[in-house]
């Protein structure tokens, strides 16, 4: 999908806040999620006699989306239609929500077993941005954002966290809709044009483009630079450390 044209994006130095996706941007928890999804769908699809689960399925149908949306998308790709169920479904239930809850249990097990640390380059960029005066937030589709940030040792860095739990509570539509990013910007009292979206998923950069954010940075962790640009990224890097020198002190607003 090619995103619609928009005015020339602002430079990183012109912005006031950085809104970070979590998994695959700040921490390599995308890999934890990928293993958890594989643990869920590899046996499930095999039992249904359809095409096996592959790593590409993660990028095509799951990456960046709210958990239940990922389940629906993956099942639809195999022609499997299940009842929706409810978020309270037991993980053993053969419903969309039941499978989503089973995946969450697999993720928690993976995180407990292996832990997680921030990407070194992302951590360096985050610290430099805070030191320069940028406001920073995490905007994640995951319901596990707080536990991941705590495990990674960076929870206290973020005064604003808009995750899957907040989105459900406040009825915010998930990525590629811009709602969660717009909500984070509003919590700082800023407009979208004053904020940077930092994403590794095509659905996430599309959310940044759809929301009219001042700058959309794509971090290529496997989605592909061309795909990230096509969906809305203004800049694509493989390591956020590459952008440290583009940061500038944020002016103090006039009173």
Residue 4 DSSP symbol: P
Could you confirm whether 14 is annotated as catalytic?
Answer: no
On average, the pLDDT of the chain sits at: 93
Tens digit of each residue's pLDDT (9 = 90 or more) over 111-163: 888 889 999 999 999 999 999 999 999 999 988 899 999 999 999 999 999 99
Tens digit of each residue's pLDDT (9 = 90 or more) over 211-221: 999 999 999 99
**How do beta strands 195-199 and 160-162 pair?**
unpaired
Single pTM value for the model: 0.79
Helices (DSSP H) in the chain: which residue ranges? Answer: 29-47, 55-57, 67-77, 96-114, 120-131, 145-152, 164-169, 179-187, 202-210, 225-231
Q: Which of 23, 69, 179, 220 is an active site residue?
A: 23
Q: Which residues pair with 19 in a beta bridge?
A: 137, 197
Confidence of residue 5 (pLDDT cuts 50, 70, 90): low
Q: Which of 5, 21, 90, 200 is an active site residue?
A: 21
Could you confirm whether 21 is annotated as catalytic?
Answer: yes
């Amino acid at each position: 999908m090619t995103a619609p044209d928009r005015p020339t994006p602002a430079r990183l130095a012109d912005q006031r806040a950085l809104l970070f996706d979590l998994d695959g941007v700040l921490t390599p928890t995308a890999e934890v999620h990928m293993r958890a999804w594989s643990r869920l769908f590899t046996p499930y699809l095999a039992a249904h006699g359809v095409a096996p689960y592959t790593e590409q399925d993660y990028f095509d149908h799951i990456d960046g989306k709210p958990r239940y949306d990922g389940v629906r998308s993956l099942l639809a790709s195999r022609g499997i239609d299940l009842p929706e169920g409810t978020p309270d479904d037991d993980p053993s239930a053969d419903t969309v929500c039941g499978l989503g809850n089973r995946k969450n249990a697999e993720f928690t097990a993976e995180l407990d077993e292996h832990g997680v640390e921030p990407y070194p380059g992302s951590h360096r960029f985050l610290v430099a941005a805070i030191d320069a005066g940028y406001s920073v937030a995490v905007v994640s589709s995951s319901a596990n954002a707080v536990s991941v940030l705590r495990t990674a040792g960076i929870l206290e860095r973020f005064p604003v966290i808009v995750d899957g739990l907040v989105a459900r509570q406040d009825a915010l539509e998930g990525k590629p809709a811009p709602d969660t990013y717009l909500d984070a910007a509003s919590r700082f009292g800023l407009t979208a044009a004053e904020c940077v979206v930092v994403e590794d998923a095509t659905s996430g950069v599309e959310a940044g483009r759809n929301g009219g954010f001042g700058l959309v940075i794509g971090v290529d962790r496997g989605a592909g630079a061309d795909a990230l640009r096509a969906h809305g990224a203004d800049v694509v890097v493989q390591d956020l450390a590459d952008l440290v020198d583009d940061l500038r002190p944020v002016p103090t607003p006039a009173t």
